[in-house]
Amino acid sequence: MIDIVLENWSPIVFIVVLLLNVLVAYWLYSMGNPEYKKTKYSGDPFISGNRSPKDVKKLHVAGDNLFWGFKKALKRYYDPLIDGHTGRLNDYMIWVVITLAVVLIYLYLVV
């Protein structure tokens, strides 16, 4: 049965096509303007027209800030979920007992 699914999938062909695309991209890149001179501010990130800060640490987006929108939009789902992970040893055991109860009730009711 493996042949039906993986017959058309060959990673070697994929990698060869990927390399061909990279070569095409490099050829397009080499057709660029050869007389480009770097000015004083070129290469800096665009922060709505402000100057980039001198301290390098402020340029990089911190870990917690990267998906804040996702977390805020799903606030009603995330608040109970994060509160459920309390870190207390008793709660870990209570979850095991709850799962045990649900699985046993399911096994006895259904069959």
User: Is 24 near another protein (CB under 8 A)?
Assistant: no
Q: Which segment (10-18, 20-28, 32-40) binds another protein by CB under 8 A?
A: 10-18
Instruction: Quote the strand ranges of 1-111, DSSP E.
Output: none
What is the Cα–Cα distance from 82 to 79, expressed in whole angstroms? 5
Contact residue for another protein among 14, 20, 21, 25 (CB under 8 A): 14
Segment 60 to 89, residues that bind another protein, using CB under 8 A:
60-64, 66-67, 70-71, 77-78, 81-82, 85-89
Phi, then psi, of 50 in degrees rounded to 5? -80, 165
Closest contact distance (angstroms) between CB of 82 and another protein is: 6
- Is residue 110 at the binding interface for another protein, with CB under 8 A as the rule? yes
Eight-class DSSP state of 37: -
Say whether residue 59 binds another protein (CB under 8 A).
Answer: yes
Site membership for another protein, residue 31 (CB under 8 A): no
Region from 21-29, 33-41, 53-61 binding another protein, contact rule CB under 8 A: 53-61
Distance from C-alpha of 23 to C-alpha of 17, rounded to nearest angstrom: 10
Sign of CA dihedral 80, 81, 83, 84: positive
Rg of the chain in Å (alpha carbons): 28
